Amino acid sequence: MFTQPPPGNGRDGPPPFSAVRLIVVIIVSGGICYWLAHYFAAPIVKLSNAVRQFAGGDLSVRVTSSIGDRKDEISALASAFDRMADRIESNLTSQRNLLRDVSHELRSPLARLNVALELCRKQCSPDVGKSLDRIARESDKLNELIGQILTFNLFESGMSSMEKSKVDLTKLIIEIADNADFEAKGMNRAVKVVTSDACTILGNVELLRRAIENVVRNAVLYTGENSAVEISLKKITLENVPYVSIAVRDHGPGVSEDEIMHLFKPFYRIDNNQVMQPGGAGIGLAITEAAVRFHGGSVKASNAPDGGLLVEITIPPI
């Protein structure tokens, strides 16, 4: 009697596909996919990190040597980035060197000019003396501008070796406010500290003093008459990280939203009908931004809801 063989035991059926072979295929495929993903993604991650470092001010970063000997589009992109970085670093270095050299060279004739002015004062009439006083004032302004340029150039050239120590920000803010208030009284204005938490940071006291004074003096110039510039020092938390906030608020006309983003750029001049820096060179706030960045912080400006400009400096504490 004819009997049909059980299913799967015939020679013409498909061979059994064992679980071991399936696992081997998965492992091999996964390994190949991982290698391919790493091969293409790793250099892109390195390039992305380099772009962030470069944007953050590290002009020495390069990527070609770190991605190995590749001959593909990613390698070409890395080479293009390095060429761009070389060009930008060279241009910025040349610009900084020019500013430094010109500023130093201007100091000598200015010193001789001041000596000549003092000699003229001893020999001239009172009427001529008024003109000499005006020349002396303009000479002092030029000398101050040269000092600001040299200071800014020092920041941009790298200041990692500058000495840092514990700084009592509460004491520093009170000193700055007292000095600024004394000057502001001559313009029918005032400076007052409205909030003062006990804050200590690790930093350079003179750099911090200059950074905060630049903001406060700008505020004094542009706040309305019979009004007060308000300074607040607070401990704050951003994304569960403690920071120190120094806010300076005036009661002037404020700045247009289109111009606010440019306030901390060096030598940027806002329209004369606007608020900031009439007759100035536009470098004081750039020094502030560089000094704050040196301390690992940030500075931003915004128009207060009820009028006036608000500048906030945020610095990590000790």
Q: 127 with 179, same domain? A: no
Q: Are residues 87 and 183 in the same domain?
A: no
The answer to the question of residue 134 being in a domain is: yes
Please state the φ and ψ torsions of residue 225, each to the nearest 5 degrees: -60, 150
Q: Which domain holds residue 198?
A: 165-315
3-state helix, strand, coil in the chain (%, to 5): 55, 15, 30
Query: What's the pLDDT at 216?
Result: 93
Q: Are residues 105 and 148 in the same domain?
A: yes
Q: What is the pLDDT of residue 231?
A: 95
Instruction: Examine the fold and report which residue of 113, 135, 158 is the final residue of a domain before the chain moves on.
Output: 158
What is residue 137's predicted lDDT score, i.e. its pLDDT? 80
Is 104 an active-site residue? yes
Does residue 10 lie within any of the structural domains?
no
Is there a domain that residue 255 lies in? yes
Do residue 297 and residue 170 come from a single domain?
yes
Name the domain boundary from 107, 139, 158. 158
- Burial of 123-135, coded b for 16+ CB within 10 Å and e otherwise, reads eeeeeeeeeeeee
Give domain status of residue 5, yes or no. Answer: no
129 in a domain, yes or no? yes
Q: Is residue 2 part of a domain?
A: no
User: Does 151 share its domain with 192?
Assistant: no
Rounded mean pLDDT, 133-147: 78
Select which of 38, 104, 251, 295 is catalytic.
Answer: 104
Q: What is the CA radius of gyration of the chain?
A: 32
Domain count, the chain: 2
- CATH at residue 269: 3.30.565.10
Residue 238 bridge partners (DSSP):
241
Shared domain check, 188 and 70: no
How much is the average pLDDT of 21-43? 76
Q: Say which CATH number the domain at 135 has.
A: 1.10.287.130
User: For residue 223, what are the contacts with CB-CB under 8 A and spacing of at least 6?
Assistant: 189, 229, 250, 251, 252, 308
User: Does 300 lie in the same domain as 171?
Assistant: yes
Crossing angle for the helix pair 126-156 and 284-294, to the nearest 10 degrees: 30
The tens digit of pLDDT for each residue in 253-277 reads 888 888 888 888 877 666 545 444 4
More confident: 56 or 115: 115
Asked whether residue 105 falls in the same domain as residue 215, the answer is: no
Across 78-83, average pLDDT: 83
Residue 267 has φ and ψ, to the nearest 5°, of: 65, 15
- Is the residue at 1 inside a domain? no
Residues 74 and 151 in one domain: yes
- Banded pLDDT at 26 (limits 50, 70, 90): confident
CB 315 within 8 A of CB 292: yes
Among 103, 132, 158, which residue terminates a domain? 158
d(Cα 127, Cα 303) in Å, to the nearest integer?
46
Q: How far apart are CA 49 and CA 67, in angstroms?
A: 13
**Is 178 strand, coil or helix?**
helix
Q: What angle do CA 89, 92, 96 make, to 5 degrees?
A: 135
User: What is the spatial distance between Cα 151 and Cα 17, in angstroms, rounded to a whole number?
Assistant: 76
Token representation of residue 289: 């931004």
Residues 105 and 235 in one domain: no
CB count in 10 Å sphere of residue 17: 9
- Among the residue ranges 14-23, 91-100, 168-177, 267-276, the one predicted with the least confidence is 267-276
* Same domain assignment for residues 92 and 188: no
CA distances from 151 to 158, 259, 287 (A): 11, 24, 7
110, 177: one domain = no
